[in-house]
Amino acid sequence: MKEADFTTKYESTWCPGCGNFGLWIAMKQALAELGLKPENVLMVYGIGCSGNGVNFTKTYAWHSLHGRAVPTAVGAKLANKELTVIVMAGDGDGMGEGMGHFIHALRGNADITYVVHDNKTYSLTTGQAAPTANKGYKAKSTPEGIIEQAVNPVSLALAAGGSFVARGFAGQADQLKEIFKAAIQHKGFSFIDALQPCITFNKINTFKWYLDRVYSLDDNSEYNRTDIKQAFKESLIWGKKIPVGIFYQNNRATYSDHLPQLKGKTLIKRPVQVRNVAPLLKEFS
């Protein structure tokens, strides 16, 4: 497979220079290098600029409701365990409207990959502040600055029991591609906080701002990905320095592993049995 095998005929509508291009390229390369075929991949998209990728990436795709991409993806995986299921959604979608779904999917360890496009704004609706924006951030929705503390997606995922937790940067697509590959191959819920600069509305967290700060955990031979305490410590670092890479990974039973009714053939390949519901209807009539 080649990257081009995952590219549709439709032209991108993202702003020139948008961080989404780095994520898009990295994901297509990851899928190709893993030898996956478009017809065996389902990508579920949230609402926002990230959701426009539904038109540009050649796989099966579903454009979900705002904040509902994760449960849609979990349902698809339960119905067809042979699919590689990936969620692409924004930080407003996932850390705002979809926060509850995010937490419970981490707890259950459903076997999907979740990539949050973290640009700290609701860019499709012209730049309102997202839950990941730093305290004091000024936007259309917060002209005097945000008064709440910013959501930290990585530490939140660790606290909720995530079995694969990582952060990547759109300006370093090569490393991001490797993170995507590791996440897709991981058996369980894989979460990636993808730093994705919005060049139109966020003039603070720019490509240069990140390039001056990011350092890679993957380059540190002494870093232990199975040490949850070390992962938490790194996850709280933000400001003059920002860690990227795989923070934590462990192998534990997935949501499906606990359901004996899912063993054997995937659900969509089983014959449909029509039951006689007349006795039940009579009981409640």
Q: What is the pLDDT of residues 166-204, one digit of tens each?
A: 999 999 999 999 999 999 999 999 999 999 999 999 999
Q: How many domains does the chain have?
A: 1
What's the pLDDT score for residue 165?
A: 98
Tens of pLDDT, residues 5-18: 999 999 999 999 99
Alpha carbon distance 116, 268 (integer Å): 29
Backbone angles phi, psi at 181, to 5 degrees: -60, -45
The CATH number of the domain holding residue 110 is 3.40.50.970
DSSP of 80-104, one letter per residue?
-TTSEEEEEEEHHIIIIITHHHHHH
Q: Which residues of the chain have pLDDT under 70?
A: none
Alpha carbon distance 95, 131 (integer Å): 6
Q: What is the pTM of this model?
A: 0.93
Domain that holds residue 217: 3-284
